[in-house]
């Protein structure tokens, strides 16, 4: 018998909202705004270490190993320090760069292909739709407005409000309290295998892994569903 879900926990960044694509646009704007061409031979010399550092730091942040403040400073201090004349870049400068970056990111409207179509469908089906994100509070609300997705959600569950990040069980406990959802009738949908999928499985939820690059990413544990395109949901839910 096919399982009936009442509530959907939906990750936002890089599941519905094209965080990576929008950030790439913002990084290039940032590079121009701060005249970083004076310190780097090419944009790629800044771009590549930024992403390497960002991925590492978000993993640490999700695991509770570093604070938000450390993430904000370090994700720019490390790549900037590779630029000529920026070897000892100050915390103040990093914060200035970060503030501008977040401003630029928060107004970008780009979403993952099919996101609005899928959300319209899920809303019409009567699911309880709950955004579950580790993103920063003020930035996430601005991004929701920019991409026109805020009204889809019945509840917005952010890690800063929960006092814990996905994949922590404390985050999911908070999400259940906020939404009134029950683990046995809730499906978690997300792109990050560690934070979204393993975190939700640990909390007793069924999971749908959005994996647009299966040639690069492989599941390390069984999942209930794996999809490559968001529209694949239309055949499942």
The domain boundary residue, chosen from 81, 106, 131: 106
Helical H segments across the chain, by residue range: 19-33, 43-62, 68-80, 91-106, 115-124, 137-147, 159-162, 169-179, 199-202
CATH code for the domain in which residue 152 is found: 3.40.50.1000
Residue 1's pLDDT is 46
DSSP secondary structure letters along 22-54: HHHHHHHHHHHHTTGGGT-SSHHHHHHHHHHHH
Residue-wise pLDDT tens digits, 64-123: 999 999 999 999 999 999 999 999 999 999 999 999 999 999 999 999 999 999 999 999
The pLDDT of residue 147 is: 97
Domain span at residue 139 reads 7-18+110-235
- Looking at the fold, whether 117 and 230 belong to one and the same domain comes out as yes
Each residue's pLDDT tens digit, 12-45: 999 999 999 999 999 999 999 999 999 999 999 9
- pLDDT, one tens digit per residue, over 170-228 is 999 999 999 999 999 999 999 999 999 999 999 999 999 999 999 999 999 999 999 99
Q: Could you tell me the pTM of the whole model?
A: 0.93
pLDDT of residue 3: 79
């Amino acid at each position: 018998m096919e399982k009936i879900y009442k509530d959907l926990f939906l990750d936002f960044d890089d599941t519905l909202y094209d965080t990576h694509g929008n950030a790439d646009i913002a990084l290039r704007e940032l590079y121009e705004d701060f005249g970083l061409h004076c310190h780097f031979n090419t944009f790629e010399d800044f771009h590549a270490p930024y992403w390497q550092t960002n991925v590492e730091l978000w993993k640490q942040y999700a695991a509770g190993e570093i604070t938000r403040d450390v993430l904000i400073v370090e994700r720019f201090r490390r790549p900037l320090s590779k630029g000529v004349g920026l070897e000892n870049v100050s915390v103040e400068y990093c914060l200035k760069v970060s503030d501008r970056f977040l401003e630029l990111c928060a107004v970008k409207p780009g979403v993952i292909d099919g996101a609005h179509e899928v959300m319209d469908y899920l809303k019409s089906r009567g699911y309880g739709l709950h955004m579950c994100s580790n993103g920063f509070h003020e930035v996430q609300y601005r991004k929701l407005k920019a991409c026109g997705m805020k009204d889809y959600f019945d509840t917005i569950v952010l890690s800063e409000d929960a006092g814990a990040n996905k994949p922590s069980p404390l985050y999911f406990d908070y999400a259940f309290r906020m939404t009134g959802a029950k683990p046995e009738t809730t499906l978690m949908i997300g792109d990050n295998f560690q934070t979204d999928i393993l975190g939700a499985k640990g909390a007793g939820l069924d999971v749908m892994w959005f994996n647009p690059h299966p040639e690069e990413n492989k599941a390390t544990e069984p999942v209930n569903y794996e999809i490559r395109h968001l529209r694949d949901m239309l055949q499942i839910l």
